[in-house]
Structure 1
Amino acid sequence: MGALTDSRKRLSADHFLSADHRFPYPSLPPPSLTPPSKRAKLAPFPELDPSTSAVPHIRPSPQIIHSTAAASTSSTPGPSSSSTTASTPLQHRRRLPPPPPFQRPIHAPQRNLRVFRLGGAARTHAAAHSWFSPSSPPPRALGLQDYIEIVNNSHPAPPTPAATTDSTRQAEAKAVPLEVVTIEEDEDERKPQDEEEVRGSVVVRGKPVYQELYEESRRKRDAKLKTLEFEVRLAEEGRLGLERLGEALPRITPKKEEVPEPFVPLTDEDEEMVHQALHGGNRRERLAVHEPSNIVITREILQCLNNKEWLNDEVINLYLDLLKERELREPRKFLKCHFFNTFFYKKLISSGYDYKAVRRWTTKRKLEYSLIDCDKIFVPIHKEVHWCLAVINIRDKKFQYLDSLGGMDKKVLSNLARYIVDEVKDKSGQQMDVLSWKQEGVENLPLQMNGWDCGMFMLKYIDFYSRDMDLTFGQKQMHYFRRRTAKEILSLRAE
């Protein structure tokens, strides 16, 4: 539909330049005074009162001017025809029809004001500039200052407490909070993150809502994003599963037992030290000297701890002295024991049973304790090419015989029974009854599987019994025990 003009007829520039009709738009430049290219169409000459008509007179033809001047002269007194001529500034133009009584609305594209939730303020502002009001100026586009005024006017300042009334409180209770949402699209001032920012009552959104919805929909349709989300979710579930497994493992996994002290493995330095001691060149080199017992260990003596070698007296006696020192060093950890050397039993039975031959071996001044106060007394027994062990178990009141080949010698236990009776009577003057004590061969005894480990089995019987431990070793640990015994002798400390 085309735009409607002010009149169905085209107006000339004379209409706008008349004294009574000025250009109604001061902000626009006045129209050109050049007459139109076409002559105006003739219109009927209405009879109007010159005093009320606002249309300028068009000069008629000479005949009409003459007749009009004559009529005015004869009918009314007054000035001559010069006044009539002055009232018609454009005498050579024909008169045009009068303007319409009111301006017609113009139908054309206009800029719409989009204000969200502004209530009656926006409607009042739009009604003040209605095109249908003849006296109102045409509306203009809202500028930034007008927009700010509209926003500020929509949030009235809170009244003072003195001026607050019940009606005002009710109106405030019914008032709807105002929120104006704008979108910033200035590329130079755009923030790196698409976030919403609240400035007073205006919420500035980094991206339009439709763009956010589009991006969210695109992310849902993106196969790569779905794969990444699945991998992230899978990794998170795996992490949670590992955490739950870590909490459950201590409950379902049996506790790992610590390595017993008799089986603690040797370090690399200890292994190197033992290897150098057992496989060195100089066989007469002194490797250890034990001053309390006056025992000197050379490489030749220590080499009995190599595999397939029989143990000699020096190594056995020094190891028994180290066991006694260990007990004195940690008395709460080990039983109170006495360790006879390899020469005691031979001396006791050298000429049959002879207590006087060994009577001075156990003086209190020498031992600093009495045998009757010990828990166990260990007596090494050497039978030509075989080592055995006899135990006087005072704590359990029995005599025990341990042979790594499974043998039993009751004569040895009978001689030891006579010895302990004579020892107690000699040192304390008391009579000890051992007839009720039991003489036994230890059952389930670890046995040797070759012809050269009897001495090492005897030392380990003594070691475990002094710890008050069961004999939980066998033939397969003998290689380790040989190297450990060599290490303890070289360091002169039993562990």
Structure 2
Amino acid sequence: MGALTDSRKRLTADHRLPIPSFPPPSPPPPSKRPKLAPFPSSLDPSTSASPPPNPSPQIIHAVAAASTSNTPGPSSSSTPASSPLPNRRRLPPPPPFKRPIHGPQRVLRAFRFDGPARPHAAGPSWSSPSSPPPRSLGLEQYVELVNSVSHSAPPTPNAIPDAAREKEAVPLEVVAIEEDGDERKQQDDEEEVVRGSVVVRRVPLYKELYEAASRKRDAKLKTLEFEVRLAEEGRLGLERLAEVLPRISPKKEEVPEPFVPLTDEDEEIVREALHGRNSRERLAVHEPSNIVITREILQCLNNQEWLNDEVINLYLDLLKERELRQPSKFLRCHFFNTFFYKKLISGGYDYKAVRRWTTKRKLGYSLIECDKIFVPIHKEVHWCLAVINIKNKKFQYLDSLGSMDMKVLRILARYFVDEVKDKNGQQIDALSWKQEGVKNLPLQENGWDCGMFMLKYIDFYSRNMDLIFGQKHMQYFRKRTAKEILNLRAE
């Protein structure tokens, strides 16, 4: 049973081997006789003619030598020849086609065996409809296919354009990807181009990995990346803050012009002017009014001091000059000095005493053309203000102590009727205008700021502003008035 099994295995192996085409060798020696004798191949022309029945030993040795030198393969026991022993069992006929030695049978889609035939492949197309079904590749065909994919022969130089030459000069790395059709993904990358199932990488993978590792180890690059990220987060934070800040922060109110704070330089100049040692030093000279301001005169602007006539009259002249500089910003006003009312009532009521104070040649305009006329009123130790409001046709009285003097308003109404009749030849009924004291008037809270209150009444009314100041602003107004007198310019 063991001998029979062994014979069957050897019989199967003999069927798989190709049948060489040369004369049969000489029979083995009697001591090692073969168990089986194959039939001669009916397809091999070299073995179709039967050998001589009694070959000579020289012919047998020559044929054996030729077979061993030309055909590498199995042992001589499988060579086709007519068996000299008629009693031996005959083998079945060999397969109709020779089965060559082949390589691995795994189909790689990277080489696209199911596509059209390559131009360098010899023989019939593997995927042509008229061609027979593809056979398994042999070792030589497999090697040839691998070499053709990895190292393709370059075309002739004349047929390659310049752009193609530059493109082919870039080293490429072919990476075979074996994947299913459902799992294919289109990759749009600058360094990788997907062509079917073959990825052509213009930069070798090891270089990419090396550069990535270098970037991770570079401390300076990490610092720059951190700074960039920090700057980007800061920019986004500022943008969000700019959107939220107007809602959570109150709007910054602009400081009105009468309350603009003094600079440090102005503070130092005013302090030196008010507290210097030489009291007779001339600090300002106003040539149009011929008023000279010395340190002694200016010191009335110190805290807890009464204002004198020189400081008040010079400041009123500066207000008139301010109006002439910017007529569109301020009302058209006339500012009488501190001596006008005293001169008007010197003899009870004397219009002729002040008739020449308001000539058009001297002023350049008539009083009836003004919007408001300001008349300082001095009562022994107290300053008040009377206003001829031509724009609103009324006479107003302003006292920082809250008192009212109707006599002053009646006298001014009579004066204005005489003034218009004398200068303009018109008869107006000013006596019928309203005479009133101003309500909600800012009042002084001490015994020395009456003159400062009077000047600020005039200043705010000439700006056409409401009286929005109070006792707390008096110290600032004293310094500001001193600064404007030293500069000979009201702001």
- Which category of TM-score, normalised to the shorter sequence, fits these structures? 0.5 to 0.7
Cα drift, residue 240 of structure 1:
6.8
Counterpart position of 1:115: 109
**Equivalent residues of 1:6, 1:104 under 8 A apart:** no
Change (3 A) 1:98 1:414: closer
Mapped contact 2:395–2:435 kept (Cα < 8 A): yes
Matched, 1:41 2:32: yes
Q: Quick one: structure 1 residues 39 and 474, their matched pair in 2 at CA, closer, same or farther if it must change by over 3 Å?
A: farther
The amino acid of 2:34's aligned partner reads: A
Q: CA deviation at 1:371?
A: 1.4
Q: Which residue of 2 aligns with 1:183?
A: 175
Match of 2:291 among 291, 295, 316: 295
Q: What CA deviation, in whole Å up to 9, does each residue of 1:376-399 have, x standing for no partner?
A: 111111111111111111222211
Residue 266 of structure 2 contacts residue 483 of structure 2 at CA under 8 Å; is this kept in 1? Answer: yes
Find the aligned partners of 2:395 and 2:299 in 1 and give their Cα distance: 33
Aligned to 1:141: 143
Alpha-carbon offset, residue 413 of structure 1: 1.4
CA contact (8 A) 1:129 1:138 kept: no
Could you tell me how far apart the structure 2 residues matched to 1:104 and 1:493 are? 123
Partner of 1:86: 58
Q: CA deviation at 1:84?
A: 2.9
For residues 446-485 of structure 1, what are the structure 2 equivalents within 5 Å? 446-485=442-481
One-letter amino acid of the counterpart of residue 89, structure 1: H
Calculate the TM-score normalised by the size of structure 1. 0.64
Counterpart residue type for residue 300 of structure 2: C
Alpha-carbon displacement from aligned partner over 1:103-132 (angstroms, at most 9, x marks no partner): 98699973745134542557939966658x
Amino acid of the structure 1 residue aligned with 2:432: S
* SS state at 2:126 partner: helix
Give the secondary structure class of the aligned counterpart of 1:469.
coil
Q: 2-side partners of 1:287 and 1:109: how far apart?
A: 116
Any idea what SS the aligned residue of 1:347 has? helix
**1:464: Cα distance to partner?**
0.8
Task: Give the drift of 1:312.
Answer: 0.8
SS of residue in 2 equivalent to 1:458: helix
**What does 1:54-453 correspond to in 2, within 5 Å?**
84-89=56-61, 97-99=77-79, 101=94, 110=104, 112-116=106-110, 117-119=112-114, 121=116, 124=126, 130=136, 140-147=142-149, 182-183=174-175, 195-197=191-193, 203-204=199-200, 243=239, 246-247=242-243, 256-453=252-449
CA positional deviation for 1:284: 1.4
For this pair of structures, how many residues does the alignment match? 386
| Residues 295, 344 of structure 1: alpha-carbon distance in 2 compared, 3 angstrom cutoff | same
Root-mean-square deviation (Å): 4.8
CA separation in 2, counterparts of 1:20 and 1:54?
A: 10
Q: Partner of 1:388: helix, strand, or coil?
A: strand
Residue 490 of structure 1 is aligned with which of 478, 486, 490? 486
Distance (Å, rounded) in 2 between the aligned partners of 1:286 and 1:21: 148
Amino acid across the alignment from 1:43: P
Q: Is the 8 A contact 1:55 1:98 kept in 2?
A: no
2-side partners of 1:47 and 1:108: how far apart? 25
- Residues 130 and 139 of structure 1 are in contact (CA less than 8 Å); yes or no, is this contact kept in structure 2? no
Deviations 1:277-311 (A, max 9, x none): 11222221111110000001111111111111111
Name stretches of at least 5 consecutive residues in structure 2 with no aligned partner: 1-8, 41-45, 66-74, 81-93, 118-124, 155-172, 178-188, 210-228
What percent identity do the matched residue pairs reach? 65
When residues 137 and 55 of structure 1 are mapped into structure 2, their CA distance, relative to the original with a 3 A threshold, is farther
SS of 2:348 mapped into structure 1: coil
Q: Tell me by how many angstroms 1:151 deviates.
A: 13
User: What secondary structure is seen at the aligned counterpart in 2 of 1:287?
Assistant: strand
Superposition map of 1:9-48 within 5 A: 20=23, 41-43=32-34
Q: Is the 8 A contact 1:408 1:441 kept in 2?
A: yes
